[in-house]
Amino acid sequence: MESLYPLTFEPILLERIWGGRKLESNYDKKLPPHVPIGESWEVSDRPGAESIIANGPLQGLTLRWLMEHRRQSIMGKAKDMNGRFPLLVKILDAREGLSVQVHPPANLAASLGGESKTEMWLVTHADDNAHIFTGFKKGVTRETFQKAIEEKQVPPLLHCNYVKGGDATLIPSGGVHSLGAGTMVFEFQENSDTTYRAYDWDRVDSQGNSRELHLEEALKSIDFNYVEPPLIQSKFSRNKTLSSRFLVNDPAFICDEYQVQKNQRFYITTTVPVILGIISGEIILSGNRQSLHLKPGCFALLPPGLEKTTIESISKTNYLMCQPHATES
């Protein structure tokens, strides 16, 4: 049986009406011509969107295959999500703003025919005056929000944060939100793709068609107590060679950002699968006789139980590490 090693996957590129072309210019993704690509799914175990291994002896097999045939080796002490890998990782390129939307909370998701989803955004690029909407301003109720949708006056009710590269936010299931135009983010989330659109800016496609809204489901799902949430405020620790800052410790996942100086080498071990994503800089990631040269926009999955995984920084590098919680043994 082939031993596991640090894995990288072929990106799954998705056309979106709000998407752009920066996945190619910023991260060297090979995009189809003349198509607005809004999402690159970097690690996915979704029906119809199963990540294909891009390196090593297991190249060509899928993350779904690993979950079916090597579950213990890929999951370690972590718990799966309904039999699937528990995390979904994307890069989003918002040339235009996304819809005002919500993901259903766990206590309602099944009754609505969906799945709950908590997610984190890390802004990697932002145009001048770029912003995100997360939650409501104080005093917004279901009734006032519903009236605003009918009157097409939604933005004044939403809490707006102007953002720059490096800003991060956690969006719990039930939290209304919208990614604004001119932003790119790394998105780490629970393995779900249930989204209910409440408002889509009266946008139409090239054929004059508007996208479907899901007002009934959205209004049932929205937490109207999700009011004016701040961006994540954590700062980097002070260390000359390797600094870190805490981002998220949610029941869904843990995520931290690291900054390593040039020409450093260190080792990591883990009992759960860890997803590493490069924000800036370059590293060499090695384990079990396999090496990866990771540049900005590259992601790798570190299986648990590797004896020694080595990170060597080619330049000053910022990267994220995200993982599910370990279950109690």
Residues carrying an active site annotation: 197
Relative to beta strand 254-260, strand 168-171 is unpaired
Distance between CA 220 and CA 160 in Å, rounded?
A: 23
Residue 306 and residue 269 in contact, taking contact as beta carbons nearer than 8 Å:
yes
Q: What does the radius of gyration of the chain's CA atoms come to, in whole angstroms? A: 20
Of 208, 282, 276, which Cα lies nearest the Cα of 244?
276
Residue 124 and residue 165 in contact, taking contact as beta carbons nearer than 8 Å:
yes
Of 124, 123, 125, 105, which Cα lies nearest the Cα of 115?
105
Q: Which residue has the tokens 């780490």?
A: 188
Distance between CA 13 and CA 22 in Å, rounded?
A: 12
Of 282, 135, 149, 122, which Cα lies nearest the Cα of 215?
149
Two tokens, residue 48: 């119809």
